């Protein structure tokens, strides 16, 4: 007996659209089984994990706060991945963006001007872009693998942040806590609604996603991204420069990660501290693939993964189980989306015939 | 000739009603085929006629939807290539599956029983290759070998399994006339041993020369089963394409205009360890002229194309002139704006991106040269999909590109149809200069004749055409002038009437010095 994946002649458009939803349903079923095995009530636990966070205005705001950096980073990464540039260091670009964006409020705590916030955002983007420029430079000049360089730069950025907030940037009146002074009110990203903490970050994320969707769909630049991503040789034939594309995609995704970093520090935290991200830069890689590298899809997948973070916290509190469950759910979602996609394009066939069976024995 | 009675009694391989459906599309439809012992049997057909599908079913790569295969009178099921080899069916693919970094013996070992020691394989390789007149050094690295030698590896690999039937897919498409000659001798030897050969080819003359029987496929059905020696090339071609293949009308020599392309003493160092360096290349092509550059693959053709197209510009700006302007340092789009068009050899991943639609692939080559028509919104460069799609439809109808759907992915077209589109994409711009690398490589007879005619017509209309080709029949059909490239050096141009096939073959092998240089040139 043999199992064969056979390409379907026609792929169902309906199921292609439904695929992510189907994957979510399957994730829930698998999750229910997992909760059952852990000795919890399956449905009740799922309710606490996935539904309760959506019932509360406060947690909806938290959802938006967590989704914003995920979406911002993931749409930038989707351009990188589409153009075959594997930027794995968004976490580092996020961190450096947060640092460069915070230079103004940390060094000039008494500067009260409406200009400060836009300047911070721009500096955050420049910082993130320049930091992503390092692997871009290494790749274009020395043909270095950007997966390794961008990943290694994450740890440099994190340790640099750690040193800053424990050393030169530490608040002298902060009882020796490793953190900076709280930002002046002018340097804090405004909240959108009075009802909760959600700030402008989510708006930036939505604008970036729609803009990049437009670029990929309607502009020559987007066409260049997909051509160079699929075949560098064909791109060269078209007169597109692969080297410029390395720079474009890395700087763009770095700038968006940097913007996410400064938005997070300025909007959600209000000061700089040693740890400013629960791994947004890495989770955003899953978000990008879950959204099928499509900026609009990424908006949806960003909220889904934000919900797994939130549900993980809820599960820890109400169910008394480890927040590692959120990692399990993130993995399950990815697994089911990929399987659904595969089965939409291929059918499984079991091949039973005598001579093949003989071959198996011999 | 001990098998001679057997030929009448029971064929070695007998195929009845073999059908393969892909969805509702029948790639092979109720195929009947008999191959006798010691018979060289030709399989003819256009691209997309179902030859590859049929052969893949015989070699166990694909499973038939219906029908039976019998070997030596016994019905068999061939679930995998491994089983096919065990049943005595060997195959030599058109595109070799060899690891360049490994040696000949190591490559052969990969397809054999893993327990066989390498030294034994090397020994057997040497013995078999000598016995069949296919000299091979088992310890040579594949990367250092010529295409002809690589093919020998594939043939020896198949022979080591002691097959009763050997399937050869377009074996001579990559060989010089001399190398092909040697292959024919090997085939005759196999035949005399009572082995059968299924020989797939586009070259009708070759088929007539060496094959005992021919089966012709068209649209997945058998349209002819004949003795090729009783047929004419034209009648065979008719069975393949249904209608008479149009004879290409060549341009008149003599009536040439201004020099449109001039290359003067260009040398290019190799870009990669496996590339060939170009050495002091000079050529001139005038309006109305078709310059054909003959040569065996891997003698600097792609490097020459890269330099001419500007994909890899050269250091000396005056080295290449297009319509009198120095363009050596200009990139491909700058040269396109001067009226040049380019068709690279490799369709997938160079001339076209397989997963993108035809209209996207049109934009691929013309985003800069047709900026006004295809782009809007100034610096935003917004794509005008409707204009691109209209142009793409126009090209498809002019070039008779057969496709499923309005704007399918390039990868879903057969080789010939995609090539017609890729050539049509350039012709649609009426280029003053067209550089084409292997215009009809792996393309069926109907599409090839259409493409050749289009190139000749373009020259007649006053353009300069450079055709880099390994196909000598093609070169004699369309060229007004012929040069030969060998080891990165370009020969003097000859008017096409003044060269014989034999002379070109010698030039291709590196001639001037001595004949044995042909052998050793590739072994360094």
CB contact under 8 Å between A227 and B364, yes or no, is yes
User: B214 in a domain, yes or no?
Assistant: yes
| pLDDT score recorded for residue A162 | 96
Q: Does the residue B382 lie in any domain?
A: no
Q: Would you put residue A318 in left (φ > 0), alpha (ψ -120 to 50) or beta? A: alpha
Which member of B344, B381, B382 has the closest CB to residue A237?
B344
Give me the percent of chain B exceeding a pLDDT of 70. 90
Residues linked to residue B92 through DSSP beta bridges, in sequence order: B168
- What is the per-residue pLDDT across B335-384, written as a single tens digit (0 to 9) for each? 999 999 999 998 989 999 999 999 999 999 999 999 999 999 888 899 99
In a domain, B386, yes or no: no
Q: What is residue B328's predicted lDDT score, i.e. its pLDDT?
A: 93
User: Would you state the pLDDT for residue A200?
Assistant: 94
Lowest mean pLDDT among A64-73, B156-165, B333-342: B156-165
Distance CA B223, CA B45 (A): 9
Instruction: Report chain A's mean pLDDT, rounded to a whole number.
Output: 90
Stated as kind and residue range, the H or E segment containing B469 is: strand B464-469
Residues A209-230 have a mean pLDDT of 96
When pLDDT is cut at 50, 70 and 90, the band that residue B5 belongs to is very low
pLDDT, residue A357, reads: 39
Residue A214 pLDDT > 50:
yes
Cβ pair B84, B117 in contact under 8 A:
no
- Confidence grade of residue B6 (pLDDT, cut at 50, 70, 90): very low
Mark whether B174 and B237 lie in a shared domain.
yes
Is residue B488, in this structure, part of any structural domain at all? yes
Supply the DSSP symbol for B258.
Answer: S
Rounded mean pLDDT, B107-133 = 83
Same domain, B114 and B87: yes
Please indicate, yes or no, whether residues B507 and B481 belong to a single structural domain of this protein: yes
pLDDT of res. B274: 67
End-to-end CA distance of chain A: 13
- pLDDT (0 to 100) of residue A168: 92
One domain, residues B226 and B286: no
Q: Which residue of A has its CA nearest to B83?
A: A359
Residues of chain A in contact with residue B306, where contact means CB-CB under 8 angstroms, are none
Shared domain check, B10 and B96? yes
Rounded CA-CA distance A205/A192 in Å is: 13
Mean pLDDT computed over B61-70: 90
pLDDT value of position B245: 54
The last residue of one of the domains, among B211, B241, B271, is B241
Confidence check: pLDDT of B184 > 50? yes
B35 with B159, same domain: the answer is: yes
Are A218 and B331 a contacting pair at CB < 8 A?
A: no
| Mean pLDDT value across residues B285-310 | 90
Tell me: do B86 and B51 sit in the same domain. yes
Shortest Cα distance, chain B CAs vs residue A262, angstroms: 28
Q: Which of B27, B65, B68, B79 to mutate to test the interface with A (most CBs of A within 10 A)?
A: B79
Contact indicator for B216, B225 with CB cutoff of 8 Å: yes
Top mean pLDDT of A106-110, A256-260, B188-192, B314-318 is at A256-260
Q: Which distant-in-sequence residues (6+ apart) come within 8 Å of A119 by Cβ?
A: A104
Dihedrals phi, psi of B176, to nearest 5 degrees? -75, 160
Looking at the DSSP bridge assignments, the partners of residue B21 are B26
Question: Do B277 and B236 fall into the same domain?
Answer: no
Q: Which secondary-structure segment (H or E) carries B353?
A: none
Residues 6+ apart with CB under 8 A from A302: A67, A70, A71, A74, A205, A287, A291
Spatial distance between the Cα atoms of A61 and B335, rounded to a whole number of angstroms: 56
| Pair (B294, B236) in one structural domain | no
Reported residue count of chain A is 362
pLDDT at B442 over 80: no
Higher pLDDT, A337 or A267: A267
Q: Look at the pTM and tell me if it is higher than 0.80.
A: no
Domain boundary among B175, B207, B241: B241
For chains A and B, what is the number of CB pairs under 8 angstroms? 81
pLDDT tops 50 at residue A290: yes
Share of chain B above pLDDT 90, in %: 39
Mean predicted confidence (pLDDT) in B18-27:
80
pLDDT given for residue A361 in this prediction: 38
B343 touches chain A (CB under 8 A): no
Of the ranges A79-93, A278-292, A341-355, B460-474, which is most confident? A79-93
* End-to-end Cα separation, chain B, in angstroms: 41
Give B247's pLDDT tier (boundaries 50, 70, 90).
low
Nearest residue to B138 via CA among B115, B113, B118: B118
Domain count, chain B: 2
Q: What CATH number is associated with residue B271?
A: 3.40.50.300
pLDDT confidence tier of residue B9, bands split at 50, 70 and 90: low
**Other Cβ atoms closer than 10 A to B322:** 22
Which residues of chain A lie closer than 8 angstroms to B367, CB-CB? 220, 223, 238-239
Name the DSSP letter for residue B252. P
Query: Does the residue B417 lie in any domain?
Result: no
pLDDT single digits (tens) A124-155:
999 999 999 999 999 999 999 999 999 999 99
Answer yes or no: do B59 and B162 share one domain.
Answer: yes
CA separation, residue B19 to residues B57, B62, B197, B239 (Å): 10, 11, 22, 20
Chain B residues with CB under 8 Å of A351 CB are 63, 79
> Is the pLDDT confidence value at B523 over 70?
no
B514 and B475, same structural domain? yes
Same-domain check for residues B221 and B75: yes
Of A241-245, A305-309, B108-112, the range with the highest mean pLDDT is A241-245
Chain A residues with CB-CB distance to B60 below 8 A: none
pLDDT band at A353 (very low <50, low <70, confident <90, very high): low
Q: Is the ipTM of this complex over 0.90?
A: no
Residue range of the domain that includes B161:
4-241
């Amino acid at each position: 007996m043999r199992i064969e994946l056979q390409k379907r002649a026609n792929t169902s458009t309906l199921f292609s659209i439904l695929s992510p939803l189907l994957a979510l349903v399957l994730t829930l079923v698998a999750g229910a089984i997992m909760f059952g095995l852990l000795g919890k009530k399956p449905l009740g636990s799922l309710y606490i994990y996935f539904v309760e966070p959506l019932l509360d205005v406060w947690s909806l705001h938290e959802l938006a706060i967590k989704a914003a950096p995920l979406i911002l980073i993931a749409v930038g990464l989707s351009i990188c991945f589409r153009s075959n540039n594997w930027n794995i260091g968004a976490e580092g670009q996020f961190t450096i963006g947060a640092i460069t964006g915070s230079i103004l409020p940390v060094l000039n705590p008494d500067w009260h001007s409406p200009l400060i916030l836009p300047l911070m955002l721009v500096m955050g983007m420049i910082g993130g872009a320049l930091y992503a420029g390092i692997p871009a430079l290494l790749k274009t000049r020395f043909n270095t693998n950007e997966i390794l360089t961008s990943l290694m730069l994450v740890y440099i950025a994190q340790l640099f942040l750690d040193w800053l907030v424990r050393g030169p940037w530490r608040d002298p009146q902060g009882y020796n806590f490793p953190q900076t002074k709280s930002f002046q009110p002018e340097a804090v990203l405004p909240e959108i609604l009075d009802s909760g903490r959600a700030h402008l970050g989510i708006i930036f994320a939505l604008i970036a996603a729609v803009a990049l969707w437009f670029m990929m769909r309607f502009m020559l630049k987007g066409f260049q991204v997909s051509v160079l991503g699929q075949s560098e040789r064909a791109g060269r034939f078209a007169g597109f420069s692969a080297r410029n594309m390395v720079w474009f995609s890395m700087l763009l995704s770095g700038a968006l990660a940097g913007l996410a970093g400064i938005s997070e520090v300025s909007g959600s935290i209000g000061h700089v501290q040693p740890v400013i991200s629960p791994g947004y830069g890495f989770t955003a890689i899953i978000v990008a693939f879950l959204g099928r590298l499509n900026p609009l899809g990424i908006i949806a997948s960003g909220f889904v993964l934000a919900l797994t973070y939130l549900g993980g916290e809820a599960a820890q509190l109400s169910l008394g189980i480890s927040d590692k469950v959120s990692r399990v759910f993130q993995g399950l979602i990815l697994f089911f989306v990929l399987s659904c996609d595969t089965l939409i394009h291929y059918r499984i066939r079991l091949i039973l015939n005598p001579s093949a069976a003989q071959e198996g024995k011999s | 000739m001990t098998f001679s009675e057997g030929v009448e009694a029971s064929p070695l391989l007998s195929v009845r009603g073999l059908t393969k459906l892909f969805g509702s599309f029948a790639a092979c439809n109720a195929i009947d085929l008999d191959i006798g012992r010691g018979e060289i049997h030709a399989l003819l057909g256009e691209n997309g006629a179902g030859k590859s599908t049929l052969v893949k079913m015989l070699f166990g790569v694909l499973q038939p939807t219906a029908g039976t295969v019998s070997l030596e009178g016994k019905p068999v099921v061939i679930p995998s290539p491994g089983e096919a080899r065990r049943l005595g069916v060997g195959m030599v693919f058109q595109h070799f599956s060899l690891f360049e970094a490994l040696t000949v013996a190591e490559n052969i070992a990969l397809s054999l029983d893993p327990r066989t020691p390498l030294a034994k394989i090397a020994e057997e390789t040497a013995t078999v290759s000598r016995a069949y007149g296919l000299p091979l050094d088992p310890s040579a690295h594949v990367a250092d070998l010529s295409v002809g030698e690589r093919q020998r590896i594939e043939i020896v690999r198949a022979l080591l399994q002691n097959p009763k039937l050997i399937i050869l897919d377009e074996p001579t498409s990559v060989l010089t006339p001399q190398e092909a000659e040697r292959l024919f001798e090997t085939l005759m030897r196999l035949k005399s041993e009572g082995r059968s050969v299924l020989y797939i080819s586009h070259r009708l003359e070759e088929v007539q020369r060496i094959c005992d029987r021919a089966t012709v496929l068209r649209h997945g059905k058998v349209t002819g089963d004949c003795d090729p020696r009783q047929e004419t090339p034209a009648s065979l071609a008719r069975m393949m394409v249904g209608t008479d293949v149009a004879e290409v009308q060549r341009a008149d020599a003599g009536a040439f205009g201004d020099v449109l392309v001039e290359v003067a003493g260009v040398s290019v160092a190799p870009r990669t360890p496996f590339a060939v360096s170009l050495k002091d290349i000079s050529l001139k092509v005038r309006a109305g002229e078709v310059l054909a550059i003959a040569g065996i693959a891997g003698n600097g053709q792609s490097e020459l194309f890269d330099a001419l197209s500007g994909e890899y510009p050269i250091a000396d700006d005056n080295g290449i002139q297009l319509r009198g302007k120095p363009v050596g340092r200009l990139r491909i789009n700058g040269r396109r704006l001067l009226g040049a068009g380019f068709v690279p050899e490799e369709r997938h991943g160079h001339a076209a991106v397989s997963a993108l639609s035809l209209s996207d692939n049109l934009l691929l080559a013309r985003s800069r040269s047709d900026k006004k028509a295809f782009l809007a919104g100034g610096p935003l460069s917004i794509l005008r999909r409707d204009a691109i799609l209209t142009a793409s439809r126009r090209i498809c109808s002019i070039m008779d590109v057969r496709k499923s759907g309005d704007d399918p992915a390039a990868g879903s077209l057969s080789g010939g149809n995609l090539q017609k589109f890729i050539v049509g994409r350039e012709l649609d711009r009426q280029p003053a200069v067209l550089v084409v690398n292997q215009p009809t490589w792996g393309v069926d007879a109907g599409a090839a004749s259409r493409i050749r005619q289009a190139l000749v017509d373009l020259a007649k209309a006053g353009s300069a055409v450079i055709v880099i080709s390994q196909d000598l029949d093609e070169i004699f059909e369309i060229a007004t002038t012929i040069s030969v490239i060998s080891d990165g050096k370009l020969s003097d141009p000859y008017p096409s009437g003044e060269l014989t096939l034999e002379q070109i073959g010698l030039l291709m092998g590196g001639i001037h010095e001595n004949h044995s240089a042909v052998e050793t040139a590739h072994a360094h």
